[in-house]
Structure 1
Amino acid sequence: MPEGAGQWWAVLQLGSTALAVASIPSVLLRRRGRPMAALSWILVLVALPVLGVALWWLLGRMHLERQRRRRRRAHERLAPALTAVRDRVRAPAARPVLGFCRLPDHLRRGIFPASAGNRCRLLVDATTAYPEMERAIEAARHHVHALFYIWRDDATGRRFRDLLCAKAREGVEVRALYDGIGSLGLSHAYKRALRDAGVQVATFLPLGVRTLRAALNFRNHRKILVVDAERAFVGGINIGDEYTRDWHDLAVELRGPVVDQLQEVFADDWHYAAREDLASADYFGKSPAVDGADAAECAVIASGPDFPAYNPTHEALFAAVVTAQSRLWIMTPYFVPGPALMAALRSAAFRGVDVRLYLPRRSDVRLVEMAARSYYPDLLDAGIRVFEYLPGFLHAKAAIVDESLAFLGSANLDARSFRLNFEASCFVTSASFVAQLAAMMAADEARCSEITRDYLAAQPAARQIVDAAAHLLSPLL
């Protein structure tokens, strides 16, 4: 290396090391109460100062107070109007979801009260879900509200675009909301075609100089479709061709009072992104409760980084795990649970609960895949059965608790869903719905490879070391 270049490199190393050391107090304050996360970041700063400083100040300082305050103020402006509408179209009350009866105020807006008299239809894979969504849109008379983390400008995306444009030209109110990072590749021509047809289009946290860190960290990972306030869809399926190939995913179609809860989540996000107030009776109270043996109790869980203390998705899933008595089957593409949820899973297995995890053999995020494998020895030692799905990429996010409670939505079992992403999921209390979901999981189990201690022992030493190294980074994922 030339002498001048060597001197500049030495200066860069010295400067980055100084910045890394100066960043440690910020890490300690921002990760207060989470020592493993703090230690992981300090390890990155010390071992890789140039990269560590860049990652911390660009991504790590996830509690971006300006954006959190802006989001909270937007919600507070809309909340009174939403409450007034909710009071006018109040749904039949059901039992508190998971027994929650003394929630703090900020969690009440994320853990909705359970409503009775809903119909739920399980939709397995995009090849089933897309036709149902398209039929619902085609039948729309008043409005279509679509929120997806990912919209692709591919054959699937263009089919949905053309359908939304056609409904807008008919005079139906159409609103399309997408995430600024998840849909970063969405072309201007695609969006222009929507707007030219009369579709209202908005970006959730668009990528820009002032919003770069917020957009990279705070992603709207929700997948919601509401049509005429009469039916809604929620799950893990975005809009793109890959979901029609070898991706295994889930959605649920909902009718009944729970539709208002998903409409409220959309209205809150839309108000933040587009500054339009949808707190009107025109958009609520159109899906009455139904009777019958298959009527379900439902409660939406909406979470995000704007919750100041506790994350609704994490709190609800933790409660579901610790209250399980006989069965706990969990399906997730990304498994980085954190100490509390790992302890709850072990405790369930120790109580004799049949705990099973269904994970992908191959993930689209290799670092998360390796971090997930690092938990396998502890899971097996606790008596938890782990299955890896073989035919394709398992992207479904669902859980079964005992014989009548199911969880399904956009949330993964990882730190990003529990702290960074805006998520929307739904608890369903229905023995018939759970039976359908259990039958699907049992069929999927036949397409899985069960992880055993012999399998783990046979893994190459290099892979075990890499997985263990990825585990060190799990608090950051």
Structure 2
Amino acid sequence: MGHSTILLSGALATLAIAASCGAQAARTNAEYPTIPGRFAEEIITEPLVAVEAFIDDTDFYVRYRDAQGMAWSGGSWASRIGLGEIEAGETYGGPYILPLEYHRREPWSEPPDERIGGRILSMKDWRVFRDRLVAAIVPRTGSVGVALHFYADDYFIYYDETGVFHAQRLLDKPDDYTVGESLSFLDFVRRGVPVLEAFLAEHGIEDRRIVFNTGDVGAYSLPFLYVNLDLPLAVFARYEPPHVMRRSSSSASPYIQTAGHVTRSHLFSMVFRPVSSVFRLFFVATDATYETIRPDWVVELGANPIPAVAEGPGMDLDAWEAELDELTGRPTSSGTIEYLIDGEAFFTRLIDAVTTADESIHLRTYIFDNDDYAERIGELLKRRSNEGIEVKMLFDGLGTIISTMETQDTLPEDWHGSESVHRFLEEGSQIDVRQAPNPWLTGDHVKTITIDRRVAFTGGMNIAREYRYDWHDMMMELHGPVVDLLQDEFDKAWARAGFLGDFGYVLERLRIGNRKVGEAGYPVRVLFTRTGDREIFRAQKQAIRNAQRYIFVENAYFTDDAMLYELVKARRRGVDVRVIMPLVTDRGPITRNNALAANVMLENGIRVFVYPGMSHVKAAVFDGWACLGSANWDKWSLAINKELNLATSHAPSVDGLLEQLFEPDFTKSVELTEPFPERWSDFLLEFVGDFVF
């Protein structure tokens, strides 16, 4: 039966709630509630059949029958389910997933005197309801299924060629099936409401507390579902496989790794990468000197009133594209872009592409974390490598090592990640892993994934839990000749990170040569920040100067005074300039820099929108020309680190970015009308930030 229970995960949680609330809009929890626990020693292969189930003030209890006889199980629910909020209608009651924390062959020693039970429904009842709901959602023909997203768990449901229904983790999706549709839990709720109402009425079920036996077996199975129609509340009990907690042998391990990596980056790089290392040092030093002697960009531009927003046409995009050809020294490429907004959209497509890869998966990222979600992706890549797919992994050394020192608030309480990401990826797999060096503390901030040279992904997301669940960010899915360019960039970076260093890089450039790529799709330009070449900075600065009608920018870090100065000048010549930024960032001190930048923009007529929560998006549109990717609006991204952005003036593509990203984010954000309070220390921090951030 696989994980067919998950289907009900939306279903009953859906229906349960719908039945008591009608069609009221459900509000999701910001954090998916799970409880860590102690797990059984063996994976179940026969269904568990509940014969008694109840709860008390803090715990839940299930007595079930399995192949060996009667068993008593349960766990705690009170630490993660806030009944007060649910009863007050402040949150949506499910679906929660709580692990069965223990399994025993003798009765509970002290069962609670006061308990609340539920009516037990059979596996047959479950199958009838499940099949009706699935029939309305999942296609029965073709190798296509549906991805279901239940907060911290993603599942794939499908019918096989014999008509048998399957449900399993998305990460375990069969490689010959693709995701035809992606549904959030709320989408599932809306579709399931009428099905649940009809099911309950038809079967004459009047009880308000119900426990379904789902018959689910295997790893991560969900054998029981508890539904309280009065709250409303839906809770799955999950039987998890045995697993090994990886605990760091020394709390100093990340610091030792950092020191070792920095040492290797400088000593070895001077031997194997002498040209690029000296080149980087020169430009880092030049940039620091430039920042030291330059005038203060953010000055009062005059006492003249701020003009109204000008009407009229924007810049000539054909002329602008020709100007970009000269600025970059190369013509534009071509292809197609699909925007993947937020982690659910991106990681669903990534997993689908990885599981269907035929030949190669090449991943280049700034951070590959050691949290629970990143290691799930790592396990998928390891599995594919062992199935004969060429998997190459290139990550920034410092970016990844330092990220393992940080802990996200939403990380499961019992999680202890791998001590070494590099070693984790290599152990038990055929993955070829390389760590990009960081000479003079510079970094490789590029994020690209190319699969079979037919599809690529790029943007702002790293491989980490926060990008899947917690932060607002975006990636792009690419097809066409531009994929070849991203593959070539990976190959060159891969060669430079190898033993031959600069020599390997030169050989790879010679191998690639001036490869001519075909034309398909529409113009898509690749822009870089590379040592000695600030393409992304120069292109966006000139775009600001050329803009006549509007400039929309969304970025997490506004610490580059030159770009801020250009935005202010644009607004003072009548351009409609709007900026979306988070008030709180993942770099604590930058929050105050953003506040000062917001005050300057507000003072000069720029509309500032504060995004609720952390937005890691890096996108801008200038009169119909879009530029987005990995580059922040700070010194590191615009002058020092390696970065990669895409740009296009293809009207439908730019309109899609405005409709899918900017319009919703303007709506979600709060427009700033008064300046933030300023402290003398903020200006000191801003001065230091010009060199550090």
Give the structure-2-normalised TM-score: 0.49
Counterpart check, 1:400 vs 2:627: no
CA deviation map 1:24-82 (0-9, x unaligned): xxx9977444335799xxxxxxxxxxxxxxxxxxxxxxxxxxxxxxxxxxxxxxxxxxx
CA distance in 2, matches of 1:284, 1:228: 21
- SS of corresponding position for 2:662: helix
Partner of 2:579: 357
Counterpart check, 1:254 vs 2:474: no
How far did residue 254 of structure 1 move?
Answer: 0.7
Equivalent in 116, 121, 125 of residue 342 of structure 2: 125
Name whichever structure is richer in helix by fraction.
1
Partner of 1:182: 399
Counterpart check, 1:419 vs 2:636: no
With over 3 angstroms needed to count, the CA separation of the structure-2 counterparts of 1:474 and 1:168, relative to structure 1, is same
Equivalent in 34, 57, 70 of residue 291 of structure 2: 34
CA deviation map 1:123-173 (0-9, x unaligned): 001111011111111222221110111111222212221221222222221
CA distance in 2, matches of 1:29, 1:38: 16
CA deviation map 1:343-384 (0-9, x unaligned): 321222123221111100111112111112212333123221
Partner of 2:667: 446
Partner of 1:380: 602
What are the within-5 Å matches in structure 2 for residues 27-426 of structure 1?
A: 31-36=288-293, 97=321, 99-103=323-327, 108=329, 113-116=331-334, 118-184=335-401, 185=404, 187=418, 190-195=421-426, 196-205=428-437, 214=440, 217-274=441-498, 275=500, 289-290=519-520, 295-304=521-530, 306-307=531-532, 310-339=533-562, 341-390=563-612, 392-403=613-624, 405-426=625-646
Contact 2:369 2:421 in 1 (8 A): no
With over 3 angstroms needed to count, the CA separation of the structure-2 counterparts of 1:245 and 1:314, relative to structure 1, is same
- SS of corresponding position for 1:198: coil
With over 3 angstroms needed to count, the CA separation of the structure-2 counterparts of 1:469 and 1:190, relative to structure 1, is closer
Partner of 1:90: none
- SS of corresponding position for 1:375: helix
Q: Which moved more, 1:262-271 or 1:325-334?
A: 262-271
CA distance in 2, matches of 1:475, 1:180: 24
Matched to 2:425, the amino acid is L
How far did residue 311 of structure 1 move?
Answer: 1.2
Contact 2:392 2:433 in 1 (8 A): yes
CA distance in 1, matches of 2:564, 2:331: 27
- SS of corresponding position for 2:358: coil
CA deviation map 1:393-427 (0-9, x unaligned): 01000011213x21111100011112221111111
Contact 1:146 1:175 in 2 (8 A): yes
CA distance in 2, matches of 1:282, 1:169: 29
CA deviation map 1:80-114 (0-9, x unaligned): xxxxxxxxxxxxxx9884623434xxx64xxx531
Give the structure-1-normalised TM-score: 0.70
Partner of 2:690: 475
Partner of 2:40: none
How far did residue 448 of structure 1 move?
Answer: 1.2
CA distance in 1, matches of 2:644, 2:479: 16
CA distance in 2, matches of 1:169, 1:127: 26
Contact 2:492 2:509 in 1 (8 A): no
CA distance in 2, matches of 1:28, 1:271: 26
- SS of corresponding position for 2:556: coil
- SS of corresponding position for 2:654: helix
Contact 2:336 2:524 in 1 (8 A): no
Counterpart check, 1:429 vs 2:654: no
With over 3 angstroms needed to count, the CA separation of the structure-2 counterparts of 1:346 and 1:98, relative to structure 1, is farther
Higher relative contact order (CA 8 A, sep 6+): 1
Contact 1:370 1:466 in 2 (8 A): no
How far did residue 189 of structure 1 move?
Answer: 5.7
- SS of corresponding position for 1:418: helix
CA RMSD, aligned part only?
Answer: 2.9
Contact 1:28 1:38 in 2 (8 A): no
What is the percentage of aligned positions where both structures have the same residue? 28
With over 3 angstroms needed to count, the CA separation of the structure-2 counterparts of 1:192 and 1:342, relative to structure 1, is closer
CA distance in 2, matches of 1:30, 1:329: 27
With over 3 angstroms needed to count, the CA separation of the structure-2 counterparts of 1:253 and 1:95, relative to structure 1, is farther
Matched to 1:389, the amino acid is Y
CA deviation map 1:229-287 (0-9, x unaligned): 11111100010111122300011111111112211221121111024666698999898
CA distance in 1, matches of 2:514, 2:381: 21
CA distance in 1, matches of 2:658, 2:324: 25
Contact 1:296 1:429 in 2 (8 A): no
CA distance in 2, matches of 1:203, 1:38: 38
With over 3 angstroms needed to count, the CA separation of the structure-2 counterparts of 1:170 and 1:444, relative to structure 1, is same
With over 3 angstroms needed to count, the CA separation of the structure-2 counterparts of 1:221 and 1:101, relative to structure 1, is closer
With over 3 angstroms needed to count, the CA separation of the structure-2 counterparts of 1:140 and 1:95, relative to structure 1, is farther
Contact 2:528 2:534 in 1 (8 A): no
With over 3 angstroms needed to count, the CA separation of the structure-2 counterparts of 1:168 and 1:29, relative to structure 1, is closer
- SS of corresponding position for 2:395: strand
CA distance in 1, matches of 2:634, 2:594: 10
Name whichever structure is richer in strand by fraction.
2
Contact 1:228 1:283 in 2 (8 A): no
With over 3 angstroms needed to count, the CA separation of the structure-2 counterparts of 1:422 and 1:355, relative to structure 1, is same
Larger CA Rg, structure 1 vs 2 = 2
Matched to 2:637, the amino acid is S
Matched to 1:437, the amino acid is L
